[in-house]
A = this chain, B = another copy of it.
């Protein structure tokens, strides 16, 4: 009997072709796996998460991010570049300042859902 209450079946051996077919239906394709991994990877670094937490409700300039996070300006800029390339943040320039904000409600959603799980246990 399976341990996990959510589990519907036990699948093993290559003998039972029908079971293996069922299993294959659940397998996500490599392209989906890669894109999904990219999103989660963007959220898999503590400093990047701290940065994102600052952008959850406000747009903030690079210098203030630097001061608030206690990271070097270069490190911040590299991280922002990373997030930009994934279309997770966007920016606008005003004079010599560059303001960053979340580009996407997806990130906000995943961030908050992850936070719930971590906080309540």
A residues adjacent to B (C-beta < 8 A):
2-4, 6-14, 20, 22-24, 26-28, 30, 32-37, 39-41, 43-50, 53-54, 56-61, 63-64, 67-69, 90, 92, 97, 99, 101-103, 105-106, 108-110, 113-115, 117-119
Contact = CB atoms under 8 A, between A and B. Distances in A.
Secondary structure dominating the interface of A: helix
A113 B117 CA distance: 13
A107 B8 CA distance: 17
Given A2-B99, A4-B102, 7 more contacts: A3-B90, A7-B58, A11-B60, A37-B45, A39-B114, A40-B40, A41-B44
Contacts of A22: 58
